[in-house]
Amino acid sequence: MDPVLKDLVQLLDLERIEDNIFRGQSRDIGTPQVFGGQVLGQALSAASQTVTGRVPHSLHAYFLRRGDVDLPIVYEVDRARDGGSFSNRRVVAIQHGKQIFNMAVSFQELEPGVQHQFDPPDVPGPDELLDLKDISRDALARAPERMSRFVTTERPFYVRPVQMPNFDNPEKQAPTKQVWMKAVDPLPDNPSLHQRLLAYVSDYGLIATSTLPHGIAYMHDNVIMASLDHALWFHHPCRVDEWLLFSYDSPSASGARGLSRAQVFTQEGLLVASVAQEGLIRLIDSVE
């Protein structure tokens, strides 16, 4: 297995300290703080280790403080409820003795029911697109240093945007975009692992969708951006080592916050997950 992907798989396999308490490490992926998707995946891993015979169908999380990439994160799980067919867990992530993140996860026994879904967007397939890491060196040379570092850092997923972003001088455009993603190597047949990895990658690119109508240069020095919350619904099992299309949109931005959503489709057009996130978007010139 690719070493970067293997490291991520191990990163999501937490150390159990005692009943309901787990510890995870962090990795620097080129962002100024611990990547939110890492904390989402680890918190889901912690919660899942306290539930048997049920699978997560939704999670709702809040990012409270920046995570320190140089220190481990402790996850405390509260077994809030085990009902007839649903279980609920609350997870708190702690560093420096303070909460940096909390999350509620709901688990359900598999059962049949009514089904419908939106159709996927009509976009080029992943084989027709360039990967983000293949962006021209000239374009990266004009981008801010922290954006260049983020793009060039080795990552465990292929990322192939349908609309290649302009990192230096973005033009105002509609708040929609699509990106194909998949793990760089095959993964074990472990549905729980694929859900954790989907939670991890679900944090890619969400906040940036809210900047598209405003021509804001993501990761430039005059912009402060941070995830505030995150919601994820699992509709069907899926494999993250097969191509998934993330179709993003942002219905609203106001009060220095932007709301972004994503629908996640397989190549066959099955809607396997939905995501929503509100993020801070603050222009430094407007800060008193």
* Catalytic (active site) residue 277: yes
* Catalytic (active site) residue 286: no
Number of Cβ atoms within 10 Å of the Cβ of 59: 24
Q: Which of 42, 45, 203, 210 is catalytic?
A: 203
Three-class HEC string of the chain: CCHHHHHHHHHCCCEEEECCEEEECCCCCCCCCCCHHHHHHHHHHHHHCCCCCCEEEEEEEEECCCCCCCCCEEEEEEEEEECCCEEEEEEEEEECCEEEEEEEEEEECCCCCCCCCCCCCCCCCHHHCCCHHHCCHHHHHHCCHHHHHHHHCCCCEEEEECCCCCCCCCCCCCCEEEEEEEECCCCCCCHHHHHHHHHHHCCCCHHHHCCHHHCCCCCCCCEEEEECEEEEEECCCCCCCCCEEEEEEEEEEECCEEEEEEEEEECCCCEEEEEEEEEEEEEHHHCC
Chain centroid offset of residue 2 CA: 20
For residues 224 and 226, what is the distance between their CA atoms, to the nearest angstrom? Answer: 7
For residues 131 and 230, what is the distance between their CA atoms, to the nearest angstrom? Answer: 26
Q: Which of 38, 45, 227, 247 is catalytic?
A: 227
* Catalytic (active site) residue 274: no
Would you name the residues annotated as active-site residues? 203, 227, 277
